[in-house]
C-alpha cells in the first residue's frame, strides 16, 4: 500500500492526504471490500490451479494414459472455472458496491453542504458549475479505492515474480530489475500529467454545464433575440475545447503504455544480452535462461496494469480536489442561526442603524437604517429603482447579514433565533413566482410539516382567489405544475403563491408588489387575494400600487439606501419632493385611470401632473 501512494509523493505531499480522505469514505464498507479482496485471492488461486492442472493433464492422461485422470482432470477444470467465475463476480460486485455507495454518500454530502450555503454563494457561483461538481466530479472518486486495491494486487504479483526471477538467477535478475526505478519515473510523470488534464477536463465540463444551464433557463431571451445560432457556436467552442482536452489526456494515457513497454524491452534486452553471454560461456543452461525470461515476460502484465490503475487514481485525485475544495472551503460557511426558537406572537420588529453592503459592491445598499414596525401595522416602502427596498426586506429573514447595526425582533436580535423558526414566521411574496414540479396541493402546502387536510388547503386557495381555476385544471388539486407540469398564467401563479403564504400563516408578511406583469383585471383579483392575505397580519409592502400606499399606516421613502422620509400619503405629498415625484411617475397613472373610471372621463389626460391627494377616495 505504501508503495502505491509513494508514486505520487513527488507530485504533492498533499495527494496522500487527499487519497487518505477518499479512502475514509470507503471505511463503512470494510466488510464488502474485505470480501472482495478474499474473492480476489480465490480468483488468483483458481487461476494458478488451472495452470497447475496442465501438468497432470499432460503427464497422467497423455503420457501415463490414466483413465481415472481422464475423468477428474476435466471435472476439476470445470470446478475451478466455476469457482473462478464466482470469485470474480463477488470480487467485482462488492468493489462496485463500495464504489457506488461512496459516490452516493459524497454526492449527498456535497449537496447537503451546498444547499445550506447562504444566498450570496449562489449569487456568486454559476449553477451549472455546481451541478457539474455534484454530477461529474464525484464520480471520479468512486474509482479511487478499487484502483488502489488493484494496484496493490498487481504490485504483489510483481513482487512474486521478482522473487521467482531472483530465485532462478540472481545475477541476471539484477540486470532485469535495474530498469524498475527507470520505469517508476515515467509512471510518476504520466500520473502528474494526467492529474493536470483531469483537473482541466473537469473544470471544462463545468463550463459546459454553465453554458447549458444558462441557455436553457434563458431560452425565451435566446428565442426572442434569435440568437440560437450564436449560442450554438458558443457551445461548439466550449465543446471543442473539451474535446481537445480529452484528446490531450488520451494521448498522454495512451503514450504511457508504449513507454512502459519500451522500458520493459530495455530490461529484457539487457537480460538477453548478459544472459546470452552466460549461456554461451556455459555458466547457465538454455532451459534455466528461458524459464527466467518467461517469468520476466510475465512481469510485463502487472507493470502495465499498475500503470493504468495509477491513471485511474490520478483521475480520482483530480475529482477529489474539486469536491473537497467545496466541502472544505472555509469561506463557504453554512448558514448559522441562533439557538432560541421564535415561538411567541410577533410584537415588534426594529432596525437599529443597519448598514449593509453587498460583497461585490463598495457603496452600501442600506445605509444606517433605523425603523420600528409594530404588530398589526401596514408599512409601505416606495423609492426609485436601486434605492435598497428589496435589500431592506431581504435582511429580515437573514438572507444577508448586515455589517453594522442590528435587526431586533421582539427585543432580541434576529441572529439569536433559529433560522427555521425565524423564517417560518416571515412570509415573502414577490413578483417572481416559483412553482415546484409538484401537484397544486403540495405547491400550496410547501414547507409545512405533516399532512394537511383537504378543507384547509381549499380554504387557503379560496381566500387567494385560486380555488376556481384550480378546480378547472385537468386533475384539480392533483394537477402537477412547474417545469414539466401544467403551465399557469402570471396571475394564476401569483394567486397560488398567495395561497401558499396564506397556508404558511406567518405573522409578518413581506410583499414585493408586481409592477406591470398583470393586466388590470388580473391585477384586481390578485389585489383582492392580497387583501385577504394582509388581513390580521403585520405587513411590509414594496408598493407599486396606489391602493397600497393609500391604505398603508406609514409610507417609507427610500433613496440610495436611506429612509429619507416617512409618514402618511397626504403628509408626504406636502413635504417630500422625492415622494411627490415618485407619486407622479408611478402612481398618478393609477389615480388617473381610477379617476377616469369613476369621476372624470377626461382624467386620463392628466399625464404627469400631480393629482390632488386622495383622488380616488
Ligand atoms: N445581489 C446583489 N449583489 C450585489 N448588489 C446588489 C444585489 N442586489 C442589489 N444590489 C445593489 O444594491 C442596491 C439596492 O438594490 P435593491 O435591489 O435593494 O433596490 P430596489 O430598491 O429593490 O430596486 P427596484 O425597485 O429596482 O427593485 C442597488 O445598487 C443594486 O445594484
Ligand atoms: Mg427590488
Cβ–ligand 1 contact at 388 (below 6 Å): yes
Ligand 1: which atom is nearest the Cα of residue 123?
1
Distance 337 CA to ligand 1 centre (A): 24
Ligand 1 centroid to Cα of residue 4, in Å, is: 54
Assigned domain for 247 exists: yes
Task: Judge whether residue 107 has pLDDT over 70.
Answer: yes
- Residue 1's pLDDT band, with cuts at 50, 70 and 90, is very low
Position with higher pLDDT, 5 vs 280? 280
Q: In this structure, are 283 and 357 located in the same domain? A: no
Check residue 202 and give its pLDDT: 85
What's the CA-to-centroid distance between 215 and ligand 2, angstroms?
24
Which residue lies with its CA nearest to atom 16 of ligand 1? Answer: 388
User: Cα–Cα distance between 617 and 615 in angstroms, integer?
Assistant: 6
Q: Can you read off the three cell numbers belonging to residue 10?
A: 513527488
Q: Which residue has the cell 388581513?
A: 535
**Residue whose CA lies nearest to ligand 1 atom number 26:** 385
Same domain for 100 and 150, yes or no, is: yes
Strand ranges in 347-394 using DSSP code E only, listed in sequence order = 348-356, 366-374, 378-382
Distance CA 595, CA 609 (A): 13
pLDDT exceeds cutoff 90 at 176: no
What three-state secondary structure class fits 403?
A: coil
The domain tally of the chain equals 2
DSSP annotation of 363: S
Q: Are residues 398 and 458 in the same domain?
A: yes
Ligand 1 proximity of 362 Cβ (cutoff 6 Å): no
Pocket of ligand 1, candidates 122, 358, 516: which has the most ligand atoms within 8 Å of its Cβ, to mutate? Answer: 358
Choosing from 363, 369, 387 the residue with most ligand 1 atoms within 8 A of its CB, the one to mutate for a pocket test is: 387
Phi, psi at residue 538, to the nearest 5°? Answer: -85, 130
Residue nearest to atom 11 of ligand 1 (CA): 365
DSSP string, 68-110: HHHHHHHHHHHHHHHHHHHHHHHHHHHHHHHHHHHHHHHHHHH
Residue whose entry in the numeric block shows the C-alpha cell 504490485: 155
438 within domain boundaries? yes
CA–CA dist 359, 255 (Å, integer): 47
**pLDDT at residue 610 in the model:** 41
pLDDT class for 603, splitting at 50, 70, 90?
Answer: very low
Least confident segment among 55-69, 116-130, 252-266, 410-424: 55-69
Range of the domain at 97: 2-328
**Same domain as 144, residue 182:** yes
- Is residue 390 lining ligand 1, measured as CB closer than 6 Å? yes
Strands (E), 395-533: 404-409, 412-413, 426-429, 508-512
Asked whether 386 lines ligand 1 (CB < 6 A), one says yes
Q: Is residue 334 part of a domain?
A: no
Query: Residue 483: pLDDT above 80?
Result: no
Nearest ligand, CA of residue 544? 1
Helix, strand, coil percent content, the chain, rounded in steps of 5: 65, 10, 25
Mean pLDDT across the chain: 83
Is position 614 within any domain? Answer: no
Instruction: Flag whether 572 is in a domain.
Output: no
In a domain, 85, yes or no: yes
User: How many Å lie between the centroid of ligand 2 and the Cα of residue 385?
Assistant: 7
pLDDT of 367 > 90? The answer is yes
CATH label of the domain that carries residue 354: 3.40.50.300
According to the model, what pLDDT value does residue 517 have? Answer: 56
Asked if 258 and 230 sit in the same domain, the reply is yes
Q: How confident is the model at residue 418 (pLDDT cuts 50, 70, 90)?
A: very high
Taking the CA of residue 45 as centre, how many other CA atoms within 13 Å lie in the half-sphere pointing to its CB? 11
Whole-number Å distance, alpha carbon 386 to ligand 2 midpoint, is 7
- Which set of grid coordinates corresponds to residue 367? 445605509
Check if 516 has its Cβ closer than 6 Å to any atom of ligand 1.
Answer: no
Same-domain pairing of 11 and 116:
yes
* Number of neighbours of residue 69 by Cβ within 10 angstroms: 17
Domain boundary among 534, 560, 592: 534
Instruction: Please report the pLDDT score of residue 607 as a whole number.
Output: 39
- 13 falls within a domain: yes
Q: In this structure, what DSSP letter does residue 604 have?
A: G
Distance 122 CA to ligand 2 centre (A): 18
Out of 534, 557, 583, pick the residue that ends a domain.
534
Are 276 and 246 found together in one domain? yes
Q: Quick one: 198 and 322 in the same domain?
A: yes
Judged by its nearest atom, the ligand closest to the C-alpha of residue 365 is 1
Q: Is the pLDDT of residue 177 over 80?
A: no
Residue closest by Cα to atom 4 of ligand 1: 358
295 with 398, same domain? no
Q: What is the pLDDT of residues 180-206, one digit of tens each?
A: 777 778 878 888 888 888 888 888 888
> What CATH number does residue 306 fall under?
1.20.1560.10
Choose which residue among 367, 369, 385, 386 to substitute to test ligand 1 binding: the one with the highest number of ligand atoms within 8 A of its C-beta.
386
pLDDT digits (tens, 9 = 90+) for 350-359: 999 999 999 8
Is pLDDT at 66 greater than 50 in this prediction? yes
Does the residue 395 lie in any domain? yes
Residue 70 has which C-alpha cell?
481422464
Of 511, 534, 557, which one is at a domain's C-terminal end? Answer: 534
Choice from 383, 391, 559, 562 to test ligand 1 binding pocket (greatest atom count within 8 A of CB)? 391
* Among protein residues, the one whose CA lies closest to atom 5 of ligand 1: 358
Evaluate: CB of 123 within 6 angstroms of ligand 1. yes
Res 445 pLDDT > 60:
yes
**259 and 125 assigned to the same domain:** yes
Task: Tell me how far the alpha carbon of residue 542 lies from the centroid of ligand 2, in angstroms.
Answer: 8
CA of 398 to the centre of ligand 1 (A): 16
Q: Do residues 277 and 420 share a domain? A: no
Residues 214, 144 within the same domain: yes
Residue 6 scores a pLDDT above 80: no
Using 50, 70 and 90 to split pLDDT, how confident is the model at 518? low
Enumerate the β-bridge partners of residue 426: 508
Report d(CA 470, CA 468) in Å as an integer.
Answer: 5
pLDDT score for 2: 34
What is the distance between the alpha carbons of residues 253 and 308, in angstroms, rounded to a whole number? Answer: 8
- How remote is the CA of residue 558 from the centroid of ligand 1, in Å? 12
pLDDT > 90? residue 94: yes
Amino acid at each position: 500500500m505504501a508503495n502505491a501512494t509513494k508514486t505520487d509523493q513527488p507530485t504533492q505531499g498533499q495527494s496522500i492526504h487527499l487519497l487518505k480522505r477518499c479512502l475514509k469514505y470507503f471505511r463503512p464498507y470494510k466488510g464488502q471490500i474485505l470480501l472482495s479482496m478474499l474473492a480476489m485471492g480465490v480468483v488468483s488461486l483458481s487461476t494458478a490451479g488451472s495452470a497447475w492442472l496442465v501438468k497432470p493433464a499432460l503427464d497422467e492422461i497423455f503420457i501415463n494414459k490414466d483413465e481415472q485422470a481422464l475423468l477428474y482432470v476435466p471435472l476439476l477444470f470445470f470446478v475451478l472455472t466455476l469457482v473462478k467465475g464466482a470469485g470474480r463476480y463477488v470480487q467485482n460486485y462488492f468493489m462496485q458496491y463500495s464504489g457506488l455507495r461512496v459516490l452516493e454518500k459524497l454526492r449527498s454530502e456535497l449537496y447537503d453542504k451546498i444547499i445550506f450555503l447562504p444566498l450570496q454563494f449562489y449569487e456568486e457561483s454559476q449553477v451549472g458549475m455546481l451541478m457539474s461538481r455534484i454530477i461529474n466530479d464525484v464520480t471520479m472518486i468512486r474509482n479511487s479505492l478499487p484502483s488502489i486495491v488493484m494496484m496493490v494486487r498487481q504490485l504483489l504479483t510483481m513482487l512474486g515474480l521478482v522473487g521467482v526471477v531472483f530465485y532462478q538467477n540472481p545475477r541476471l535478475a539484477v540486470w532485469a530489475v535495474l530498469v524498475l526505478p527507470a520505469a517508476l519515473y515515467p509512471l510518476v510523470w504520466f500520473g502528474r500529467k494526467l492529474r493536470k488534464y483531469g483537473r482541466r477536463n473537469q473544470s471544462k465540463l463545468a463550463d459546459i454545464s454553465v453554458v447549458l444551464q444558462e441557455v436553457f433557463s434563458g431560452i425565451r431571451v435566446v428565442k426572442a433575440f434569435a440568437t440560437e445560432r450564436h449560442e450554438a457556436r458558443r457551445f461548439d467552442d466550449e465543446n471543442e475545447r473539451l474535446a481537445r482536452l480529452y484528446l490531450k489526456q488520451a494521448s498522454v494515457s495512451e503514450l504511457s503504455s508504449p513507454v512502459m513497454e519500451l522500458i520493459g524491452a530495455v530490461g529484457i534486452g539487457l537480460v538477453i544480452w548478459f544472459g546470452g553471454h552466460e549461456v554461451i560461456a556455459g555458466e547457465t543452461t538454455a532451459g534455466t535462461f528461458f524459464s527466467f525470461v518467461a517469468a520476466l515476460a510475465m512481469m510485463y502484465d502487472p507493470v502495465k496494469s499498475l500503470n493504468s490503475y495509477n491513471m485511474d487514481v490520478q483521475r480520482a485525485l483530480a475529482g477529489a480536489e474539486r469536491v473537497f475544495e467545496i466541502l472544505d472551503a472555509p469561506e463557504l460557511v453554512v448558514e448559522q442561526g441562533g439557538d432560541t426558537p421564535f415561538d411567541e406572537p410577533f410584537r415588534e420588529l426594529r432596525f437599529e442603524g443597519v448598514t449593509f453592503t453587498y460583497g461585490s459592491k463598495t457603496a452600501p445598499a442600506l445605509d444606517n437604517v433605523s425603523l420600528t414596525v409594530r404588530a398589526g401595522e401596514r408599512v409601505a416602502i416606495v423609492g426609485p429603482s436601486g434605492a435598497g427596498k428589496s435589500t431592506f426586506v431581504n435582511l429580515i429573514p437573514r438572507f444577508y447579514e448586515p455589517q453594522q447595526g442590528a435587526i431586533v425582533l421582539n427585543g432580541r436580535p434576529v441572529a439569536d433565533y433559529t433560522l427555521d423558526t425565524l423564517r417560518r414566521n416571515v412570509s415573502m411574496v414577490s413578483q417572481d413566482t416559483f412553482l415546484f414540479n409538484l401537484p397544486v396541493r403540495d405547491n400550496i402546502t410547501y414547507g409545512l410539516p405533516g399532512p394537511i387536510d383537504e378543507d384547509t388547503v381549499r380554504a387557503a386557495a379560496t381566500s387567494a382567489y385560486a380555488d376556481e381555476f384550480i378546480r378547472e385544471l385537468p386533475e384539480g388539486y392533483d394537477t402537477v405544475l412547474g417545469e414539466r407540469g401544467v403551465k399557469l398564467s402570471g396571475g394564476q401563479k401569483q394567486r397560488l403563491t398567495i395561497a401558499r403564504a396564506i397556508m404558511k400563516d406567518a405573522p409578518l408578511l413581506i410583499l414585493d408588489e408586481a409592477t406591470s406583469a398583470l393586466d388590470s383585471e388580473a391585477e384586481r383579483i390578485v389585489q383582492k387575494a392580497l387583501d385577504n392575505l394582509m388581513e390580521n397580519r403585520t405587513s411590509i409592502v414594496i408598493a407599486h400600487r396606489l391602493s397600497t400606499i393609500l391604505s398603508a399606516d406609514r409610507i417609507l421613502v427610500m433613496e440610495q439606501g436611506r429612509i429619507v422620509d416617512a409618514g402618511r400619503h397626504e403628509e408626504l405629498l406636502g413635504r417630500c419632493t422625492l415622494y411627490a415625484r415618485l407619486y407622479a411617475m408611478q402612481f398618478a397613472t393609477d389615480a388617473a385611470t381610477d379617476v377616469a373610471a369613476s369621476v372624470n372621463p377626461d382624467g386620463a389626460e392628466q399625464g404627469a401632473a400631480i393629482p390632488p391627494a386622495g383622488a380616488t377616495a
